[in-house]
Amino acid sequence: PLALYTLLVMWLGIGDTSKIALLFLAALPPLSISAMQAARSIDLGHVRAAQMLGATRAQLFRHVFLPSCLPGICTGMRISLGFTYTVLVASEIVAATAGMGWMIWDASKFLLSDVVIMGLFVLGLTGLALDWAIRQFERFVTPWRFA
């Protein structure tokens, strides 16, 4: 996706719109692949049992499909987050005038190793905090996995 950034900058400008489009393009493949795999792994026995008990389509979605797919979707969210965060920092290095990636790149040009190290430390802590937040969200929406 980073190779598309030059096209996105030409089409959408160097502002936030091109970065958001790039992040969307970076997050889409891992998330969609995880969601498709989660949908494929639904136990048909559960679907048939719910149908035999008279479940409507909405009830099937709410009580069978969604609980079966949520763990895979949450895993895809975590994978997408890591990939998207990496692309965000790289896009700031390539074409930006602000942001952590730009700050680290600018400091490295002037051999300011303290700024570079602190920037990398902050990036790492931010990545850990975002991953923790998604894990907490996963615990909230799929409590049966952690019981």
> For residue 69, what are the contacts with CB-CB under 8 A and spacing of at least 6?
35, 38, 39, 42
Q: Total structural domains in the chain?
A: 1
pLDDT in tens, 17-56: 888 899 999 999 999 999 999 999 999 999 999 999 999 9
Please give the torsion angle defined by the CA atoms of residues 89, 94, 99 and 101, in that order, rounded to the nearest 10 degrees: 50
pTM: 0.79
CATH of residue 138: 1.10.3720.10
Domain that holds residue 63: 2-145
Residue 65: DSSP 8-state: I
Q: Cα–Cα distance between 51 and 11 in angstroms, integer?
A: 49
Render pLDDT for 57-105 as a digit per residue (tens, 0 to 9). 999 999 999 999 999 999 999 999 999 988 888 888 877 777 888 888 8
Question: Are 35 and 77 within 8 A, CB to CB?
Answer: no
